[in-house]
Amino acid sequence: MTLKKFLFTIIVVTGLLFSCNTKPKRAKNVKLRMIQTTDVHGSIFPYDFIRNKETNNSLASVYTYVQKQRANKDIETILLDNGDILQGQPVVYYSNFESADNEHICASVMNFMGYDAATIGNHDIEAGHEVYDKINKEFKFPWLAANAIDKKTREPYFKAYTIINRKGLKIAVLGLITPAIPNWLPENIWEGIKFEDMVVSAKKWIKIIKKNEKPDLIVGMFHSGVDFTYGNQTDTTFKNENATRLVAEQVPGFDIVFAGHDHQEYNLWFKSSDSSDVLLLDPRSYAKYVAVADIEFTWNKNQDKYDKIIKGDIVKTENIEADSTFLAKFEEYVEEVKNYVNHEIGFISKSISSRKALFGNSEFVDLIHKIQLEISGADISFTAPLNYDAEIKSGPVYVRDMFNLYRFENLLYTMNLNGNEIKDYLEFSTDLWFNEMTSENDNLIKMKKTHDGKQRLASAYYNFSSAAGIDYSINLKGEKGNRVNITGLSNGDKFELAKKYTVAINSYRGNGGGGHLIEGAGILKSQLAARIITSTDKDLRYYMIKWIEKNKTITPEKYDNWQLTPKKWWEKAKAKDIKILFPD
């Protein structure tokens, strides 16, 4: 060996030994800002495509805020999203189903904004395999859901977690999705996927992350609400829909947990089971707010790890000026969607409002009943108001109005139910909806007080299900389970409790959503699929558009097939509740 080669070998070996025995130098102090959006529901642009007017909340305003944070070079910025972006405004419906051959607008926008990671939500799954499988390939960042398991591979269908690196820091972000999806959506939409309990999944993955990644910060991003008691669930309910707080409290290791799904605001600290502190943030919905977590890392050489100071905030992005570059980039697409939603499909002879549907029989809900019965040919129809405060004004009807009339992308089922099950279904709905009145001075609708002392609906309005095709009354003074009296079919035929009837019902309800069929009618979840006679292949809104185009002129009318008694009690209590719920 020549002297030259010998010296070269010594240098290489020495270098290798030195590198193996020294740890990478850690920055003494690093400031990190994590910004999270959630439940955007298509509020991408500062324009309401349903009401045909400009708005002041959108991702365009969020982008203005994010770019300002990124301009501060003293702070590292991470941008996250927590799901439910593919449903809501027509701008996403158009990209989901009408312009599916092009890159999805959410992929284009979120890639442009520079998102670092996102968690998938239940309404993203609702769009169907073809949509979410395609967009998952188009995203330039990982889409997370550790507890959505591919039945074939037994591995997560989406990515379980991601590692984000900033100035030598390793930030682990674990994604989870509410496991209640099979209770709401037809199986073909999530075919091949099993949804695990969030606490069980989190315990599994937190160990994997700690062992394999040894991160400096562990963040949970869960598309699941905070109130684990919602829907009569408890902290022991397996596959609890809203288990974010349960994970924070029962699974040690998380520094920060971002919530979503419930459209609520939270900025709270919780104690995990090992007494460590966990920050929980939830920034409502529709891009009006973002959750912001500020973390200051200071290297502790004695303990060979970073000390962390964590602070949380909910920042209002509503009213922030929309970024001009953002608007210019997507201007052509916005105009394309405007042309789509402004297409005239028919004429309506008088205005209808969803407000009236909360207090009894209404033209708004009965129009949905009418369409469902005609499309399906069923004996009976079940539906509920899917908008709290929407109006379709008299005159021309446009595509955009259908998003007011029918908010979600549900399919329409025809199912077999017997008379007893139909009555019990309505008893269950009545118990969610109407108060058991003891005097005419009581509330008509079941209410609960919020933390600020205001009265609000005790249950979600989209579970206030009524029926068409039968005549019935609800006794406001009656006892739970014995308030509904069905007097007959609306065509004059006798209604029999033992007889089977065909029922038009949306896929959310037909799969057990709201509990009407399972808890109310007493049908086992495993038996629901066998009750389905037919199903539409496209969402009900599509068929509503076709129905209106065919009929051209709509004359809304109440069936007046159900009543609330005593009538005087109903009238007085209704007037009282209208002032509470709609003070304007």
Question: Which domains does the chain carry?
Answer: 24-336 (3.60.21.10), 343-581 (3.90.780.10)
Distances from the Cα of 479 to the Cαs of 253, 436, 440, in angstroms?
A: 48, 7, 16
Q: What is the C-alpha to C-alpha distance for residues 413 and 540, in angstroms, rounded to an integer?
A: 10
- State CA 82 to chain mean position distance: 10
End-to-end CA distance of the chain, in Å? Answer: 94
Per the structure block, which two tokens stand in for 381? 């129809």
Q: What's phi and psi for 24, nearest 5 deg?
A: -60, 140
Residue type, 418: N
- Beta-strand ranges (E) seen in 425-483 are 447-449, 455-457, 466-468, 470-475
Residues 6+ apart with CB under 8 A from 223: 38, 82, 83, 84, 119, 120, 121, 122, 145, 175, 176, 177, 178, 260, 261
Q: What is the C-alpha to C-alpha distance for residues 151 and 482, in angstroms, rounded to an integer?
A: 43
Q: What is the pLDDT of residue 6?
A: 46
pTM for the model stands at 0.89
Per the structure block, which two tokens stand in for 104? 């999805």
pLDDT tens over the chain, length 584 residues:
454 454 444 444 444 444 444 456 788 999 999 999 999 999 999 999 999 999 999 999 999 999 999 999 999 999 999 999 999 999 999 999 999 999 999 999 999 999 999 999 999 999 999 999 999 999 999 999 999 999 999 999 999 999 999 999 999 999 999 999 999 999 999 999 999 999 999 999 999 999 999 999 999 999 999 999 988 899 999 999 999 999 999 999 999 999 999 999 999 999 999 999 999 999 999 999 999 999 999 999 999 999 999 999 999 999 999 999 999 999 999 999 999 999 999 999 999 999 999 999 999 999 999 999 999 999 999 999 999 999 999 999 999 999 999 999 999 999 999 999 999 999 999 999 999 999 999 999 999 987 677 889 999 999 999 999 999 999 999 999 999 999 999 999 999 999 999 999 999 999 999 999 999 999 999 999 999 999 998 899 999 999 999 999 999 999 999 999 999 999 999 999 999 999 98
Q: What is the pLDDT of residue 25?
A: 74
Residues 6+ apart with CB under 8 A from 162: 116, 117, 141, 142, 144, 172, 173
Residues 6+ apart with CB under 8 A from 66: 35, 77, 79, 113, 114
Q: What is the pLDDT of residue 560?
A: 95
The partner residues of 33 in beta bridges, in order of sequence, read 77, 294
Distances from the Cα of 369 to the Cαs of 68, 104, 300, 488, 493, in angstroms?
A: 49, 33, 66, 17, 19
- Angle of helix 105-113 relative to helix 129-138, nearest 10 degrees, comes to 30
Q: What is the C-alpha to C-alpha distance for residues 357 and 385, in angstroms, rounded to an integer?
A: 6
Would you call the peptide bond into 566 cis, given omega within 30 degrees of 0 as the criterion?
Answer: yes
Q: What is the pLDDT of residue 2?
A: 54
